[in-house]
Amino acid sequence: MASAPQSANLPLFYKDLMPLNSRDHGEWKSKTTETASWMVGQHAIPLTAEEFVHASRNYPIVFSVADNPVPLALMGLNEGVNTFFDDEGKLINPAYVPAYARRYPFMLAKLNANTEELSLCFDPTSDLLGDFAEGAALFENGEPSESCKATLEFCRNFEEAGFRTQAFVDELVKHDLLMDGEVSIQQQGNAQPFVYRGFKMVDQEKLRDLRGDVLRSMNQSGMLALIFAHLFSLELMSDVFGRQVQQGKGPVPVPAA
């Protein structure tokens, strides 16, 4: 259900990457849109730890089953189902949108594998950037515009949040707190419950059994609050399932005898 969204070469959403520069894109502009086409059919969106509290009001937060678990906001319980964005990519109801999704089509990436330096890049297949007559200029007199600087700062903050999220997950793994998750949802009129697996969640029994000094350290660092935000958010599984059914995107039921 919640495999880490990734491809062999490019992260989720991105079909290509190109460095942004004043030589090739000096006259380009960026435009806003009310339809995020890249969100259509995406059921699991990467989440940073500092977004847990905001995201937990709308989405179940789980962890991917990859060797290096990634926190995910579930917008649907089935592959290819997003109950928060319609088929045009428009947000159906007001809800928190993860920074990972708001960052697109930009991202910071290494241009040289031999250096740690990151450059601002973009997906050239996106229709949000180009030589438009209207929009926010990316460069002014050959220098990054205020809009471009703001985008760069957002991407930098996202990368820094990613490092903090990795440290948070590393602590969970260190203390063996992640377990295989399972949720069973019984729909009225259906013979069998729908069972969802394929994700990880915090093991509450192991959490309760942690030594006092470890729990105290987690509380002081703010990690404990993030864990509880994750655990409380799991109650929204049935809500997302209900949204799928209401939108006609739910799994096919087995009639009761």
Give yes or no for residue 210 having a pLDDT over 50.
yes
Give yes or no for residue 117 having a pLDDT over 50.
yes
pLDDT at 4: 43
Give yes or no for residue 113 having a pLDDT over 90.
no
Give yes or no for residue 257 having a pLDDT over 70.
no
- By CB atoms closer than 10 A (0-12, 13-18, 19+), residue 177 is buried
Query: What's the mean per-residue pLDDT of the chain?
Result: 92
pLDDT at 1: 58
| Strand bridging mode 178-180 / 200-202 | antiparallel
**pLDDT band at 3; cut points 50, 70, 90:** very low
Q: How many domains does the chain have?
A: 1
- CA gap 243, 236 in Å, rounded: 11
Residue 96's closest CA among 108, 84, 88? Answer: 84
Q: Is residue 254 a part of any domain in this protein?
A: no
pLDDT digits (tens, 9 = 90+) for 18-49: 999 999 999 999 999 999 999 999 999 999 99
Number of residues that make up the chain: 257
In order of 59, 98, 154, 214, the CA distances from 231 in angstroms are: 11, 18, 28, 19
Structure tokens at 36: 């995020």
- CA gap 107, 193 in Å, rounded: 41
Q: Is residue 54 a part of any domain in this protein?
A: yes
pTM of the shown model: 0.90
Q: Do 138 and 20 meet the contact criterion of CB atoms below 8 Å apart?
A: yes
Q: Averaged over 226-244, what is the pLDDT? A: 96
Domain that holds residue 127: 18-246
Q: Is residue 255 a part of any domain in this protein?
A: no
Q: Is residue 130 a part of any domain in this protein?
A: yes
pLDDT at 170: 97
Q: Is residue 3 a part of any domain in this protein?
A: no
Structure tokens at 131: 């030589």
- CA gap 107, 11 in Å, rounded: 10
**pLDDT band at 253; cut points 50, 70, 90:** low
Q: Is residue 26 a part of any domain in this protein?
A: yes
Q: Averaged over 114-133, what is the pLDDT? A: 92
What distance lies between CA 52 and its chain's CA centroid? 11
pLDDT at 110: 87
Give yes or no for residue 192 having a pLDDT over 90.
no
**pLDDT band at 252; cut points 50, 70, 90:** low
Q: Is residue 174 a part of any domain in this protein?
A: yes
3-state class (DSSP) for residue 255: strand
Q: Which of 15-19, 140-144, 249-253 has the lowest mean pLDDT?
A: 249-253
Q: Do 143 and 22 meet the contact criterion of CB atoms below 8 Å apart?
A: yes
Number of H helices, E strands in the chain: 8, 15
Residue 129's closest CA among 47, 241, 18, 216? Answer: 18
Q: How much of the chain exceeds pLDDT 70, in percent?
A: 94
Give yes or no for residue 256 having a pLDDT over 50.
no
pLDDT at 111: 80
In order of 37, 61, 98, 207, 214, the CA distances from 179 in angstroms are: 34, 14, 24, 11, 19
Q: Is residue 143 a part of any domain in this protein?
A: yes
Give yes or no for residue 6 having a pLDDT over 50.
no
pLDDT digits (tens, 9 = 90+) for 151-174: 999 999 999 999 999 999 999 999
